[in-house]
Amino acid sequence: MTLENNNSIKTFAIMASGSGSNAENLIQTSRKLGANLACLICDQSSAKVLDRCKRLDVKAIIMEKTSSKERHEQEILAVLKEMEVNWLLLAGYMRLLSENFLSHFYDPAKDRNQVVNIHPSLLPEYPGLGGYQRAYEDQVERSGATVHFVDGGIDTGPIIEQGSFKREKNDDLASFTARGLALEHTLYARILEKIIKGQV
């Protein structure tokens, strides 16, 4: 897979592992904007995101890890290459992608991988799992979400954009998290539109 061959045409794939609210948001946004969404890759056969794909009539490909990480990634790359995918949108994909995998989406002209993730915190605070819960338990006055390019680390790639929300007096963890998720949907949709327009 080489970006030089067809980099002017943006073909997207979503990668997800869980319930898929961000994935559904991206699907709806891509349709509204006329984006070329090839498929959704899921590594969990019981993930609820697959139900969303069925309801929304989106091609979902289940690719569970049955061998080594290297072999699993090669199998995913083969599928994405066949569909000429050159942009990946991670939406709760719970596996760390290797630098070798990411190199297949590297754009030398812009010196970055065309792989984007959304994370539930104001990075570099609270990387990894449980961003909202950790922020809530620390009683931070403000939390947020971050859209960033993906590199070989855990939520360490260059930040594209962040959004924040204020902790309310009567917040519990559920309400705190719900406001964060709503922000994620707005933020990720905006970034997808910018990618499509060549503004990222």
End-to-end CA distance of the chain: 21
DSSP labels for 154-169? SS-SPEEEEEEEEPPT
119 assigned to active site: yes
Q: What are the structure tokens assigned to 12, written together?
A: 């997207």
Q: What are the structure tokens assigned to 151, written together?
A: 């590199």
DSSP state of 19: S
Distance CA 126, CA 79 (A): 33
| Separation in Å, CA 38 to CA 41, 51, 89, 99 | 10, 17, 11, 23
Name, in order, each residue with C-beta under 8 angstroms of 45's C-beta and a sequence gap of 6 or more. 62, 64
Distance CA 198, CA 186 (A): 19
Q: Which of 72, 104, 119, 148 is catalytic?
A: 119
DSSP state of 3: G
The residues that are catalytic are: 119
